[in-house]
Amino acid sequence: PAAPPPSPPQSPPQSADQTTPPPSAGSPVPFETLRGLEAGERSAVIRARVVAARERQRVRFEGEAGVFCNAQMPSRLLQRMCRMEAAAESLLRAAMQELQLSARAYDRILKVARTVADLAGREGIVAGDVAEAVGYRSLDRPMV
């Protein structure tokens, strides 16, 4: 009788990443799971920050007819109401040049950066506020 055929060589053990089947296209995976993030802020905490930011804006615009929040701020008030640290100003200047943004986009970015600062409880606008506002502006632009 013939000897049994030799067994195929054994492959090295697989890691957990290799043995776990990938999620199918029809099974969405929560972003937090993918990023390994803890649960986000509770709604009550977010609401409190928004209420405080809106109050800050109400006080800021007292005496300005028809202006109650940053979104309604006319261009003539931007310089006075949107004080930026030097790094924030440099970042905004670079973004304006690099992205070839209009004066209207400048106004919008400043208003959003002012709102980001308000939500964080800051009087002045820092570079991170401008970066976040520019990021939101970039999301509004069509992808080519």
Nearest to 109 by CA among 143, 85, 62, 75: 75
- Residue predicted with more confidence, 110 or 29: 110
Count of residues making up the chain:
144
pTM of the entire structure? Answer: 0.70
In CATH, 40-140 is 2.60.40: no
- Report which of 56, 58, 76 is spatially closest to residue 67, judged by C-alpha positions: 58
H-only helix segments in the chain: 16-19, 31-35, 43-60, 75-81, 86-99, 103-120, 127-140
59-110: pLDDT as tens digits? 999 999 999 999 999 999 999 999 999 999 999 999 999 999 999 999 999 9
Coil, strand or helix at 68: coil
* Domain segments of the chain as ranges: 40-140
